[in-house]
Amino acid sequence: MVLAAGFGTRLRPLTDGLPKALVPVGDRPALAHALDRLLGAGAKPIVVNAHHGAADLRRYVETFAGVRVSEEPELLGTAGGVARADALLGSGDVFIWNADMLVDVDPAEIAQAHADAIATDPTTEATLVVKPRPKNEGPVGLNDAGTIVRLRDERVAEETQGGDFLGIHVLTAFSRRRLPPLGCLVGDHYLPALRRGTKLRGFPYEAPWFDIGSLGRYVDANVAWLAARGRTSWIGEGATVAKGVLLKDVVLGKGASVHGAGVLERCVVWPAAHVTAPLANAVVTPGAIVRVPV
């Protein structure tokens, strides 16, 4: 399941008229990066939940074969969203991916690690992807065995390593039955489970990752997308650039145009948007230029 129902408050004004899951990262919307990973790993069925901008999300999701939408008339939170989609997801364990997380990870590898953890200890209820950090740092703490012993500020045993939870996890069928109809997966499901003595496992992920929830990280994610392809710019179909303009770490969407002269640097120009160089550290939509704090 891909969680895509949030308002994207920290990314405003970009998300005032567009769901956060549909903001472009590189050559396609953020949601597509998660769906491509899951579909490539053979995951099915796949469900995307929707609330803010639900009609736009539904239209986009319908372009992917075998992907369904669970619409929430009222926002239910991450736990409530998974609970509501129960019938669409079917039985068994569920793989969960936050749509605003860009992580170069193989879902099949995580699913196998989850299965191995259950085989070793059948009481395991979830496997969470965690970026390791030094002891006592970040919202997650793990022991030497890779078991989660701290979430946020609540600790049930001594940790040897801290970490960041990347919003990618696998939840067992048994644990799904405990989900509240309204609430957060961490605060209202995993934390109570930890207090009960439930076994939660960590899956270490060492490579870079991006949470596009803020303007700065959103631009960082686009620049990283370029770097991963050995490029300093990407020009979408039908986009135009004036002769006197130099592009440096720029993603230029389909049908966009750049006028003027000088350097356009660290900018994300959305499809059909128009901008005049010079400009740096900005996101350009068809209706606005949004400056990014540096």
Closest CA to 19 of 212, 184, 167: 212
Q: Tell me, yes or no, whether 200 and 102 share the same domain.
A: yes
For 35, which DSSP code? H
pLDDT in tens, 53-77: 899 999 999 999 889 999 999 999 9
Asked if 138 and 275 sit in the same domain, the reply is no
Summarised one tens digit per residue, pLDDT across range 75-108 is 999 999 999 999 999 999 999 999 999 998 999 9
- 12 CB-near residues (< 8 Å, 6+ apart): none
pLDDT in tens, 145-204: 999 999 998 999 999 999 999 999 999 999 999 999 999 999 899 999 999 989 999 999
Residues 128, 47 within the same domain: yes
Residues 124 and 267 both lie in one domain: no
For the chain, what is the domain count?
Answer: 2
Average pLDDT rounded to a whole number, residues 21-32: 95
> Do 165 and 264 belong together in one domain?
no
Residues 103, 153: one domain? yes
Query: Domain boundary residue among 210, 232, 264?
Result: 210
Q: Which of 281, 267, 279 is nearest to 226 (CA)?
A: 267
CATH number at residue 25: 3.90.550.10
Using the 3D structure, point to which of 192, 210, 228 is the last residue of a domain: 210
Report the half-sphere exposure of 65 (CA within 13 A, side-chain side). Answer: 2
Q: Are residues 20 and 55 in the same domain?
A: yes
Tell me, rounded to whole angstroms, the distance of Cα 106 from its chain centroid. 14
Q: Do 26 and 123 have their domain in common?
A: yes
35-58 pLDDT, tens per residue? Answer: 999 999 988 899 999 999 899 999
Query: Do 33 and 109 fall into the same domain?
Result: yes
How many Cα atoms are found within 13 Å in the side-chain-facing hemisphere of 104?
8
269 in the same domain as 127: no
The whole domain housing 131 covers: 2-210
Reduced DSSP (H G I as helix, E B as strand, rest coil) percent helix, strand, coil of the chain, to 5: 25, 35, 35
DSSP secondary-structure letter at 217? H
Last residue of a domain, one of 183, 210, 237: 210
Give the span between the Cα atoms of 207 and 209, in whole angstroms. Answer: 7
Q: Which residues of 204-241 are buried (b: 16+ CB within 10 A; e: fewer)?
A: ebeeebbbbbebebbbbbbbbbbeeeeeeebbbeebeb
Q: Are the CB atoms for 169 and 94 separated by under 8 Å?
A: no
